[in-house]
Amino acid sequence: MIVCIPIDEDRGMNSPVCAHFGRAPAFLLVNTDEATCRPVSNGHDHRAHGQCLPVDLLASERVEALIVGGIGRGALHRLASANIRVYRAQGQTVDETLTALRDGTLPHVDPDMACTQHGHDHSGDGSGE
């Protein structure tokens, strides 16, 4: 499975999980079947709420799941339309987050969990908004 995790900086599996999908400077694409990972720059990083469009990028990379600290409703809807499952991150690093995915403890993000405004905390530890 190809999993995408928004990251603040590339440190491989030790990369810190970014608090918000659209504001991430990069994504780490992890192939869980092959145990490989590679960073991809967020070329659509506009850093303005509602203006991020990295969904096309992820669909072209055959991403099957996205693990985020926070995400807006529009992006969540576009990801659902692209058949990309979205989970809430738990842990501070990619490795910790993937361990939670393997353990089956990551909750799916539904529209009620999506961001409607900024200024709230997306710590990436699963504590919510």
85 CB contacts (<8 Å, ≥6 apart)? 64, 65, 66, 108
This prediction's pTM: 0.81
Structural domains present in the chain: 2-113 (3.30.420.130)
More confident position, 102 or 49: 102
- Please provide the average confidence, as pLDDT, over all residues in the chain: 82
- The dihedrals phi and psi of 128, each to the nearest 5 degrees, come to 95, -155
DSSP state of 72: B
Model confidence band, residue 98 (pLDDT cutoffs 50, 70, 90): very high
Can you name the residues that pair with 67 across neighbouring β-strands? 87
| Size of the chain in residues | 129
